[in-house]
């Protein structure tokens, strides 16, 4: 009987030292931060239009009262990144809490507009 009690106590002590993995930093995936209410497509100059078709961007940001802050584009064509940052700062989310380290994936169409998503990334 004492052995079971000791094992039970040890079980709680051992699990107290385990750390959860943060998927945002470990795997570049964050759970949905809220419904997107406004998506603004980037304004791309004529010489860069050919880069839009199927271009994919990973954007890391903080969310404050539904507004993106500290926007950084982690991947995607270099020439389009400034336009992505500028347009993404105009996006609005339905989140009511502050979120750090959020990640959003943006896909562009052949006419340089943001591809509508069926599911959240």
pLDDT tens per residue across all 121 residues of the chain: 566 665 555 555 544 444 444 455 555 556 555 677 888 999 998 889 999 999 999 999 998 888 999 999 999 999 999 999 999 999 988 877 888 888 889 999 999 999 876 434 3
Report the domain count for the chain.
Answer: 1
Q: Which residues pair with 64 in a beta bridge?
A: 67
The answer as to whether 91 is a domain residue is yes
Asked whether the whole model's pTM tops 0.85, one would answer: no
CATH number of the domain bearing residue 66:
3.30.2420.10
Contact 70, 14 (CB under 8 A): no
The answer as to whether 54 is a domain residue is yes
Residue 45 tokens, joined: 């100059």
**What dihedral angle (degrees, nearest 10) is formed by the CA atoms of 86, 119, 58, 27?**
150
The answer as to whether 3 is a domain residue is no
The answer as to whether 121 is a domain residue is no
The answer as to whether 47 is a domain residue is yes
The answer as to whether 12 is a domain residue is no
* Residue range(s) defining the domain that contains residue 35: 29-107
């Amino acid at each position: 009987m004492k052995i079971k009690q000791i094992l039970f106590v040890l079980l709680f002590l051992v699990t107290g030292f385990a750390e959860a993995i943060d998927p945002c930093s470990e795997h570049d995936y964050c759970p949905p931060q809220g419904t997107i209410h406004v998506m603004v497509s980037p304004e791309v100059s004529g010489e860069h239009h050919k880069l839009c078709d199927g271009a994919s961007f990973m954007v890391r940001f903080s969310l404050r009262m539904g507004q993106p802050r500290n926007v950084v584009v982690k991947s995607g064509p270099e020439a389009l990144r400034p336009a992505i940052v500028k347009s993404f700062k105009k996006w609005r989310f339905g989140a009511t809490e502050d979120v750090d380290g959020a990640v959003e994936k943006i896909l562009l169409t052949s006419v340089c507009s943001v591809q509508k998503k069926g599911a959240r990334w």
